[in-house]
Amino acid sequence: MAIPMPIVQDIRRLDRQGLSRAQIARRLHVDRGTVAKYADMADHSPKPKTDRRRGSKIDPYAHLVDGWLEADRMLPRKQRHTIKRVHDRLLAETDYDGEYSTTMRYVHRWREVNRGMPDREGYVRLEWATGSMQVDFGMARARIAGEMVDVHCLVVSFPFSNMRLCVAMPGENAECLCHGLTLVFEHIGGVPPVIVMDNATGAGHRNAKGEVTLTEVFSAFVAHHRIEVRFCNPYSGNEKGSVENAVGFLRRNLMVPPMRAESHEQLSRLMLEQCDGLAASSYCPRLLDVPVAEVFGEERASLMPLPAMPFDPVRWESRVADKYGLVDIDSNRYLAGPGMARSKVLAAIRWDTVTLTSCATGELLAEYHRQYGRSNNMEDPALVLPRIAVRPRAWRESAIRPDVPDDIRAWLDAMDEKTLKESLKAIGDACRAAGFEPAMQACGEILRCNKDMGLHADSLTPIALRMRDGDWEYPGAVAEPDLSGYDRFITDTDDHGKEDR
């Protein structure tokens, strides 16, 4: 045990004065060996502390713990041994009777010694050029069309000015990424020359060698806008730390409480407006007294102009419809029509729509809102009704029955087979000509006028077309002619019933 430094100083001072070592020991109440040690010591420079541990109860089991921790390197981070799990296994599988603190110290020492070189590397401060933009996705909850949904927030950040912008997307695929970046470019009035991002699925895929292959849509987007794209190293969020911070900042400041909108497009507009407000009220970290919006105004000079032609982020894929006329796109099925069963269909896949056309004729078959998730079936009743008209007995078990209004469905259910077949054929013809919604409105109008008659194409289709074009007036809504003038002429009275003189 080392003695206090003031006693060491007294030992050396008294030794210099010529006192014997026995006298020094009696005066300072220390051992004569201690006096001799410090009196004869040539170097009193400070020394680092050394580990004086001479043994521990965990030493006989150290090889087991080393094996467990070494095997953890091959497992996901959240599936590795915790210190408590190591301690519990030692107690259960061996004769170890040490305390938890002993296990904890050993595991800490092991992890410190065996920490990989990447963890020991420090960080380098990065200086970003004007116009450089970082991109990342973040998740948040929002109420869209009255329903709480998960929103994939495409967040961009300009590190030079700390300008942060955000738009709402339903997914993180290439179509959503390109559409979201287009919204940002149009909002800021230019295109950044450099984009830094990770290996998100929408942009590209990284192989085992670390090489990134761009998706076809994003590759075309980059060429269209003449952008240079850089990808971060795996698990190196610090390389785009500006946008990593922006994701959390905008989530806390924009999405608390959850925003409300009728669509993703409206939500994106609201987000961009609020981002502009935050930029005007916050200050640039480099220039603490200058608003971000003002610094970004100067940074706009580094942006490239918008291209003359807008980019259409569409993915074209050819599919063979199954026996029901359904084509599978991203684990969701879309109806091309029973007439397209086992035929080739060309799909134009955009961020919000899926358009199906015939590969043989180029005819437009159907257009749907794109579904996100899995195992959703999208069927246009206008495509199914003509097929049901050929097989009217399938009406009562068809998948489109819930899409038909209740009163019309009950009306069709009450028809005999012959009338039902004629009515379904008329509805099918009206759907082909005007669409499903106008056809249902026309059916409802005929139902109100004459419930006992069936439906005929020569009367249903013209009404559906006029309803589609907004040119139909319900008979009950037509204004009656004003006959008050005739009343005055016949009765010789004014409007108040007084006799004219």
The pLDDT assigned to 286 comes to 76
Task: Evaluate whether 169 touches 154 at the Cβ level (below 8 Å).
Answer: yes
Cα dihedral 199, 205, 207, 210 sign? negative
Helix (H) or strand (E) run with residue 369 in it:
strand 364-369
Distance of CA 473 to the CA centre of its chain: 45
Over its C-alpha atoms, the chain yields an Rg (Å, rounded) of 39
DSSP-derived secondary structure letter, 91: H
Task: Evaluate whether 57 touches 91 at the Cβ level (below 8 Å).
Answer: no
By CB neighbour count within 10 A (0-12 exposed, 13-18 middle, 19+ buried), where does 91 fall? middle
- The token pair at 384 is 């199914």
Higher pLDDT, 284 or 199: 284
Residue 428: band (very low, low, confident or very high) from pLDDT cuts 50, 70, 90: confident
Task: Evaluate whether 137 touches 251 at the Cβ level (below 8 Å).
Answer: no
Residue 149 β-bridge partners: 142
Worst-scoring range by mean pLDDT, 213-227, 244-258, 394-408, 465-479? 465-479
Task: Evaluate whether 198 touches 192 at the Cβ level (below 8 Å).
Answer: no
How many Å apart are CA 329 and CA 377, to the nearest integer? Answer: 10
Q: Please report where in the chains the tokens 């938890």 appear, as a residue.
A: 100
Worst-scoring range by mean pLDDT, 232-236, 243-247, 386-390? 232-236
Residue 477: band (very low, low, confident or very high) from pLDDT cuts 50, 70, 90: very low
- Give the residue among 273, 262, 284, 263 at the shortest CA–CA distance from 166: 273
pLDDT tens digit sequence for 62-82? 999 999 999 888 888 778 899
DSSP-derived secondary structure letter, 493: B
pTM here is 0.67
Average pLDDT, the chain: 84
Does 34 have pLDDT greater than 80?
A: yes
What type of residue sits at position 87?
H
Contacts of 150 (CB under 8 A, 6+ apart): 139, 140, 141
Phi/psi at 198 (5° precision): -90, -170
Residue 475: band (very low, low, confident or very high) from pLDDT cuts 50, 70, 90: low
How many Å apart are CA 65 and CA 133, to the nearest integer? Answer: 46
pLDDT tens digit sequence for 139-187? 889 999 888 999 999 999 998 888 999 999 999 899 999 999 999 999 9
Cα dihedral 274, 279, 283, 286 sign? positive
How many Å apart are CA 153 and CA 255, to the nearest integer? Answer: 10
Residue 432: band (very low, low, confident or very high) from pLDDT cuts 50, 70, 90: confident
- Listed ranges 101-115, 409-423, 428-442; the one with the highest mean pLDDT: 101-115
How many Å apart are CA 425 and CA 3, to the nearest integer? Answer: 106
Mean per-residue pLDDT, 190-205: 81
DSSP-derived secondary structure letter, 499: B
- The token pair at 9 is 């100083």
Does 470 have pLDDT greater than 70?
A: yes
The share of the chain scoring above pLDDT 90, in percent, equals 32
Higher pLDDT, 98 or 467: 98
Residue 1: band (very low, low, confident or very high) from pLDDT cuts 50, 70, 90: low
DSSP 3-state helix, strand, coil percentages of the chain (rounded to 5)? Answer: 45, 20, 35
Contacts of 496 (CB under 8 A, 6+ apart): none
Does 50 have pLDDT greater than 60?
A: yes
Task: Evaluate whether 364 touches 357 at the Cβ level (below 8 Å).
Answer: yes
DSSP H helical ranges for 395-497: 406-413, 417-434, 436-449, 457-468, 484-491
Residue 478: band (very low, low, confident or very high) from pLDDT cuts 50, 70, 90: very low
DSSP-derived secondary structure letter, 121: -
Residue 476: band (very low, low, confident or very high) from pLDDT cuts 50, 70, 90: very low
First to last CA, the chain: 133
Does 9 have pLDDT greater than 50?
A: yes
Does 231 have pLDDT greater than 60?
A: yes
The pLDDT assigned to 204 comes to 80
The pLDDT assigned to 117 comes to 46
Task: Evaluate whether 188 touches 166 at the Cβ level (below 8 Å).
Answer: no
Mean per-residue pLDDT, 439-463: 78
Worst-scoring range by mean pLDDT, 164-168, 332-336, 493-497? 493-497
Mean per-residue pLDDT, 350-356: 92
- Give the residue among 166, 183, 177, 185 at the shortest CA–CA distance from 215: 177
